[in-house]
Amino acid sequence: MAVLVVADHDNARLSDATARTVTAAAAIGAPVHILVAGKDCAAVAAAAATIAGVEKILLADDAQYARQLAECMEALILSVADKYDAILAPAASNGKNYLPRVAAKLDVAQISEIIKVVAPDTFERPIYAGNAIQTVKAPAGAKKVITVRGSAFKPAAQGAKVGIEKIAAAADPGLSTFASEALSHSDRPELTSAKIVISGGRGLGSAENFHLLDKIADHLHAAIGASRAAVDAGYVPNDFQVGQTGKNVAPDLYLAVGISGAIQHLAGMKDSRIIAAINKDEEAPIFQVADVGLVADLFTALPELEAELAKRGH
């Protein structure tokens, strides 16, 4: 049966999580269609059209979708839901916002943040901050509404360009309006799709000291993350947060600096290929999961690390 993936994007760029969600969708059924809803987002639809395994793009280009407000997205997705056996969205802030509305209106349970498609109707998802994995089975005959944890799936490859079909906007329910936004701009790779992530914790001690990570990140082309403790202490904004209540990342290398390793933090990064840690406390729980641990004071280790990376030509 046909599967719909709702694209995550900012009207200019398609998020990497969308291609990862297509991988999950293809394991559930075929054909896979992608719905791109936005305003002046033709470039996003064009990018979506080259994801391998996708048969068709649905494009709803209308002012009401400029910010993907939940109430408008609900109405739009419901207007095409009939044709699909499963509806998926990346478990990003947009998908998490609108998809449960769709599930409720379809009178089905949503399956949140799947990390594995065991069978087309059976999925694994983390519960208790990833301290347990629940395998759930959807009832026969019911539509499946699913959010997908991007870090658990590889992005679908690029393929031949498929057609883009324009669809009509649904009536705007008029329940909410966009007022303003404050986004942090960064030239660094995006946290959830970066190959290398360097995260800082309370051990850095201050917002100023947090910048010690910048140069290391420059050398390694890494994204910068943080533990909840560092966010709560005001060193960095919340969108840096990795963990149960922040973002989930699974890079090639996760370097934890001055992070003790609370279970809530580990929940957000334990699927990284290599975990490395710098901490002066030899007993810190982070070392129980780190493949490589440097037991050292970070204030001496970081400058040394920077110099050594430069020396080695990184």
List the interface residues with other proteins, window 269-298 (CB under 8 A). Answer: 270, 273-276, 278, 282, 287-296
> Binding other proteins by CB under 8 A: which of 154, 177, 187, 208?
177
- Of 56 and 215, the one with the shorter C-beta distance to other proteins is 215
| Sole window of 27-35, 52-60, 205-213, 303-311 interacting with other proteins (rule: CB under 8 A) | 303-311
Near other proteins by CB under 8 A: residue from 82, 141, 160, 184: 184
Residue 169 binding other proteins, by CB under 8 A = no
Q: In whole angstroms, what separates CA 95 from the centre of its chain?
A: 10
- Residue 197 CA to residue 1 CA, distance in Å, equals 38
Contact between 105 and other proteins per CB under 8 A: yes
The token pair that represents 192 in the structure block: 């959830």
Among 92, 204, 242, 257, binds other proteins (CB under 8 A): 92
How many CB atoms are closer than 10 A to CB 10?
15
Cα atoms found within 13 Å of the Cα of residue 251, Cβ hemisphere only? 25
3-state secondary structure 33-81: EEEEEECCCHHHHHHHCCECCEEEEEEEECHHHCCCCHHHHHHHHHHHH
In the complex, what is the shortest distance from the CB of residue 156 to other proteins, in angstroms, rounded to a whole number?
Answer: 20
Q: Which of residues 114-153 bind other proteins (CB under 8 A)?
A: 122, 126-139, 142
Task: Between 84 and 254, name the residue whose CB sits nearer to other proteins.
Answer: 254
Number of residues this chain uses to bind other proteins (CB under 8 A): 92
Within residues 215-254, the interface with other proteins by CB under 8 A covers 220, 228, 232, 237-239, 244-245, 247, 252-253
**Per rule CB under 8 A, is residue 194 in the interface with other proteins?**
no
- Please report which helix (H) or strand (E) contains residue 210, including its range: helix 207-210
Which residues from 19-78 bind other proteins, rule CB under 8 A?
67, 69-71, 74
| CB neighbour class for 111 (10 Å; exposed up to 12, middle 13-18, buried from 19) | buried
Q: How far is the CB of 89 from other proteins (least distance, A)?
A: 12
| Dihedral sign (CA 227, 228, 230, 234) | positive
